[in-house]
């Protein structure tokens, strides 16, 4: 293969970032030739928001967008938390996802940051709202092009198609019509990797993807017979991500009793009952109903902050008045 | 900062690869414009050798060198295993490391692969034999330049200086004279990252490295007061890496009894007693003396293969005749 494996534009700053627990990649892109150095984050994770915002600051960038490729089932998006820490940032997700965000995109839309942009391609199949973001095609844009494929295409793999409106038939069509039609040297950056790979190319996946390089019938059979476990984070992550994610800060004592010191929803609507929440940085993700001890209205409209609550890890608690 | 964050040459193929357990980065570089597509791996890890060699094959490359930046204390190098699986490959390490390898390099040497090369810079301080490999400066070489810093410089950090002949004074001088003198946009790729960063630049570390951006006295005080734990892998990794690493294949039953099905040393000298070994892919790294049940001379000179041996995980066993 006559390929190189890095992309360059005189304008583009690009960083790939990794969250170990969910094996998620977050991508930072910025137009550093523009006076404001506008930047965006693709698929930020709640647990690494501080790292990401610190890097944005060190590099002198102005974060304008926090973008998701889809409603993730395996981790809580960082967009809600980013918006509380960096209020000018707008969240973006596909209209087809039915999730909440500041801006919604559809196939063909362009997300502009300075003189650069990401083109939106609809790649449903893992979820109904999955999109792939592709760097622009033009003199100042990145060359080779770069595509952020979410879970539609993973390096030598792909996202599962057995929940969240998934469809193996649709995923096959999405990848073959929207990703494999890009130039062969296009660099593909997935939302996850579990083997330590960081990047691949259209050409490589067309040749070596053990699922998607096959014909459609074989692909559908492979996907039907994966026998995967129910995702451990799905009941937590999906409701949270549909609402741009909820932050729970907690402290645990040695007996496993958690004292929740803050719950904050970045929704435009107040937190409703029943509420499914995830303990940020909890040793293992758990579902519970927190018992609210005290609450305090936030100074930001639509944001409810619970200052203290108690919950026993792994148990279900009645949720008192919120 | 007016920086971009990817490097490009019409000739260079570059891949960054990650090993989760020891948080080690391995780098694959190749000259894809050369008919033979000669390639090298920097800091391969024993556990990910199959992944790396599979990628080399998929990309149609000819692996010629497996290079270490230093004698690692936290993981077992993949060079020994690579040489058994891909016999034409030559291992490289610095002469100052006193470790075993096929080729030894010193400051100023060039490691050539096709029309590209890595320049060797001596950066002792984490260990006495640490070197940094820097891509060449020239029309066909990567631009910006790329430096593989090993543990001399980590992203917003550096390797410890309290064992293996480490010296904080020497490390400070190494980084400031050999790395911070490179062009400011030089991309720095470390041997490890523990926070999910993948790359940094000379300019960024000169400004924001919380240790190395300080003056020398402050740096030495920081390093003196780190109070780090003794590295859990050092008693296994250092002896193994000094000898290019040993491969142990094993199978475990549910009671934790390991049946070792192969021990192979890629040394030019036979395995000597006592031998410290690590179980490849063992749930947790352990030290033990295997009880050899049968052995078989390998068909390769200097290579001793033990076909079966038994050891109880976590225990010390007397090593019988080898």
Mean pLDDT of A184-189: 97
User: What ipTM was estimated for this complex?
Assistant: 0.75
Q: Is the pLDDT of residue A302 over 70?
A: no
Q: How high is the pLDDT of residue B238?
A: 62
Is residue B113 within 8 A of residue B65, CB to CB? The reply is: yes
How far, in Å, CA of A9 to CA of A118, rounded? Answer: 14
Tokens standing for residue B36: 């033979």
Contact A5 B15 (CB under 8 A): yes
* Tens digit of each residue's pLDDT (9 = 90 or more) over B113-161: 999 999 999 999 999 999 999 999 988 899 899 999 999 999 999 999 9
Rounded Cα gap, residues B237 and B232, in angstroms: 9
In the β-sheet with B12-19, what is the strand arrangement from edge to edge?
B12-19, B24-31, B38-42, B62-67, B90-94, B103-105
Of A199, A182, A39, A25, which is closest to residue A119 (Cα–Cα)?
A182
The average pLDDT across A97-124 equals: 95
* pLDDT tens per residue across span B72-82: 877 778 898 89
Is the Cα torsion angle B106, B109, B114, B115 positive or negative in sign? positive
DSSP label of B89? P
Reported confidence tier of residue A87, pLDDT bands at 50, 70, 90:
confident
Interval A128-156: pLDDT, tens: 999 999 999 988 899 899 999 999 999 99
In the three-class reduction of DSSP (H, G, I as helix; E, B as strand; rest coil), residue B24 is classed as: strand
Distance CA B169, CA B20 (A): 31
Q: Please indicate whether, in this complex, the C-beta atoms of B199 and A59 are within 8 angstroms of each other.
A: no
| Residue A242 binned pLDDT confidence (cut-offs 50, 70, 90) | low
- Residue A76 has a pLDDT of 76
Yes or no, beta carbons of A196 and B19 under 8 Å apart: yes
DSSP for B288-315, please give it. Answer: ---EEEEEEE-SSTT-EEEEEEEEETTS
- pLDDT at position B315 is 33
Task: Give the pLDDT of residue B241.
Answer: 61
Residues 6+ apart with CB under 8 A from A233: A22, A73, A74, A75, A76, A278, A285
When scoring A4, A31, A39 by the number of chain B Cβ atoms within 10 A, the one with the most, hence best to mutate, is A4
Q: Is B7 on the interface with A (CB under 8 A)?
A: yes
Token pair belonging to B233: 């892998």
A6 chain-B contacts, CB cut-off 8 A: 6-8, 12, 14
Q: Which two tokens stand for residue B188?
A: 């720095």
3-state SS, residue A85? helix
User: Residue B196: which of A13, A32, A48 has the nearest Cβ?
Assistant: A48
The CATH code of the domain at B12-224 is 3.60.15.10
Q: Are B2 and A207 an interchain contact pair (Cβ–Cβ within 8 Å)?
A: no
> Which range has the worst mean pLDDT, A65-79, A300-314, B28-42, B148-162?
A300-314
- Looking up tokens 């400031």 gives B176
- Select the residue from B2, B6, B189 to test the A interface by mutation, using most A Cβ atoms within 10 A: B6
**So what's the pLDDT on residue A164?**
77
Sequence ranges of the domains in chain B = 12-224, 245-312
Nearest Cα of chain A lies from the Cα of B58 at a distance, in angstroms, of 8
pLDDT of residue B211: 97
Q: What is the pLDDT of residue A165?
A: 82
Residue A218: count of CB within 10 angstroms of its CB: 12
Backbone dihedral angles phi then psi of residue B70, each to the nearest 5 degrees:
-170, 175
Q: What is the pLDDT at residue A271?
A: 33
Residue A69: band (very low, low, confident or very high) from pLDDT cuts 50, 70, 90: very high
Closest to A321 measured CA to CA, from A287, A293, A298, A299: A293
For the beta carbon of residue A243, count every other beta carbon within 10 angstroms.
Answer: 22
pLDDT given at position A88 = 93
DSSP B227: -
Q: Do B60 and A1 touch (CB under 8 A)?
A: yes
How far the first Cα of chain A sits from its last, in Å, is 59
Residues A53-62: what's their mean pLDDT? 97
The residue assigned the tokens 């996802």 is: A97
Q: Is the peptide bond before A274 cis (omega within 30 degrees of 0)?
A: yes
Q: Give the integer Cα–Cα distance in Å for B272 and B158.
A: 35
Using DSSP's 3-state secondary structure scheme, residue A206 falls into helix
Q: Which of B12, B53, B196, B198 to mutate to test the interface with A (most CBs of A within 10 A)?
A: B196
Across all residues in chain A, what is the average pLDDT?
A: 78
Taking phi first (over 0 means left), then psi (-120 to 50 degrees means alpha), and beta for anything else, what does residue A104 get?
A: beta
Rounded Cα–Cα distance for residues A191 and A148 (Å): 7
> Which residues of chain B fall short of a pLDDT of 50?
1-5, 244-322
Bigger pLDDT: A197 vs A296: A197
Task: Give the integer Cα–Cα distance in Å for B127 and B322.
Answer: 32
Q: How many CB atoms sit inside 10 A of residue A284's CB?
A: 8
Give pLDDT tens digits for A17-47.
999 988 999 999 999 999 999 999 999 998 8
**Whole-number pLDDT of residue B98:** 87
Is the pLDDT confidence value at A205 over 50?
A: yes
For residues A293-320, one letter each, b for 16 or more C-beta atoms within 10 angstroms of the residue's C-beta and e for the rest, the string is eebeeeeeeebbbbebbebebeeeeebe
d(CA B42, CA A34): 36
Distance CA A247, CA A77 (A): 10
Nearest CA-CA partner of B53 in B66, B67, B37 = B66
Is A14 at the interface with chain B, CB within 8 A? yes
Instruction: Over range A183-197, report the average pLDDT.
Output: 96
Structure token digits, residue B27: 């780098």
C-beta of residue A191 within 8 angstroms of C-beta of residue A149: yes
Shortest alpha-carbon distance between residue B5 and chain A (Å): 5
Query: What was the pLDDT predicted at B188?
Result: 98
């Amino acid at each position: 293969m006559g390929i190189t494996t890095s992309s360059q534009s005189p304008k583009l700053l690009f960083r790939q970032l990794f969250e170990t627990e969910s094996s998620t990649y977050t991508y930072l892109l910025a137009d550093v030739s523009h006076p404001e150095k506008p930047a965006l984050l693709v698929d930020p994770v709640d647990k690494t928001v501080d790292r990401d915002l610190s890097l944005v600051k060190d590099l002198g960038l102005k974060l304008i967008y926090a973008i998701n490729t889809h409603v993730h089932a395996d981790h809580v998006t960082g967009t809600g938390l980013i918006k509380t820490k960096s209020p000018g940032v707008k969240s973006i997700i596909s209209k087809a996802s039915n999730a909440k965000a500041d801006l919604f995109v559809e196939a063909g839309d362009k997300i502009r940051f300075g003189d650069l942009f990401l083109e939106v391609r609809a790649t449903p199949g893992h979820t109904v709202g999955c999109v792939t973001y592709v760097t622009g095609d033009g003199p100042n844009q990145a060359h080779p092009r770069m595509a952020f494929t979410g879970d539609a295409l993973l390096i030598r793999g792909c996202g599962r198609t057995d929940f969240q409106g998934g469809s193996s038939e649709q995923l096959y069509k999405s990848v073959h019509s929207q990703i494999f039609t890009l130039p062969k040297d296009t660099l593909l950056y997935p939302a996850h990797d579990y083997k330590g790979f960081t990047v691949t190319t259209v050409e490589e996946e067309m040749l070596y993807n053990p699922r998607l390089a096959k014909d459609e019938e074989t692909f559908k059979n492979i996907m039907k017979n994966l026998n995967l476990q129910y995702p451990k984070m799905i009941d937590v992550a999906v409701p949270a991500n549909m609402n741009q994610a909820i932050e729970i800060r907690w402290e645990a004592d040695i007996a496993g009793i958690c004292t929740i010191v803050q719950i904050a929803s970045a929704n435009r609507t107040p937190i409703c009952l029943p509420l499914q929440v995830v303990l940020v940085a909890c040793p293992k993700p758990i579902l519970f109903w927190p018992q609210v001890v005290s609450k305090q209205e936030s100074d930001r409209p639509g944001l409810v902050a619970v200052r203290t609550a108690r919950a026993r890890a792994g148990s279900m608690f009645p949720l008192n008045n919120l």
